């Protein structure tokens, strides 16, 4: 009887050890596919068509300035998509601050005044609120 109890204890230990050693099955997230150059050009063109009139009207930019702002935002977003992938929260926060500073620097190179930059941010914030209202309906 003692032998049977000892053997069942040993076999139970071996089975549970080998099961736990494998760990839980995890699914790897598929890598994000980068859009092709043609797709990027199409997305940028559509963004310019939709956002440029809004920036001209609400931020008081010229059409050329508005298009450059849209190009800068597009570049930053495309870079952020790959740069932020796989970062922990602290690194992500630092990288976002770095990207925001780069965007501000590029805005100043257009050149945009501080008031125009604030107006651009306000226009995009307003656009985001309007999009949320449309999705909520």
Is 64 part of any domain?
Answer: yes
CA distances from 18 to 12, 21, 27, 34, 94 (A): 10, 5, 20, 40, 42
CA–CA separation, 10 and 14 (whole Å): 6
Any domain includes 113: yes
- pLDDT at residue number 7: 61
pLDDT greater than 60 at residue 23: no
Tell me, what DSSP letter sits at residue 133? H
Identify the domain containing residue 131 by its residue range: 37-136
Tell me how many domains the chain contains. Answer: 1
In tens, the pLDDT along 57-109 reads: 999 999 999 999 999 999 999 888 888 888 898 999 999 999 999 999 999 99
Q: Is residue 21 part of a domain?
A: no
Helices 114-136 and 89-109: crossing angle in degrees, nearest 10, is: 120
pTM for this predicted structure: 0.70
- Reported as a pLDDT band with limits 50, 70 and 90, residue 132 is confident
The radius of gyration of the chain's CA atoms, rounded to the nearest angstrom, is 27
């Amino acid at each position: 009887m003692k032998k049977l109890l000892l053997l069942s204890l040993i076999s139970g230990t071996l089975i549970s050890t080998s099961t736990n050693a494998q760990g839980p099955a995890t699914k790897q997230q598929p890598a994000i596919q980068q859009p092709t150059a043609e797709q990027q050009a199409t997305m940028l063109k559509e963004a310019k068509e939709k956002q440029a009139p809004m920036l001209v009207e609400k931020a008081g930019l010229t059409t050329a300035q508005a298009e450059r702002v849209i190009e800068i935002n597009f570049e930053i977003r495309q870079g952020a998509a790959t740069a932020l992938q796989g970062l922990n929260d602290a690194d992500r926060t630092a990288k976002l601050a770095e990207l925001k500073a780069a965007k501000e620097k590029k805005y100043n190179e257009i050149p945009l005044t501080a008031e125009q930059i604030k107006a651009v941010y306000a226009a995009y914030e307003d656009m985001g609120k309007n999009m949320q209202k449309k999705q909520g309906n």
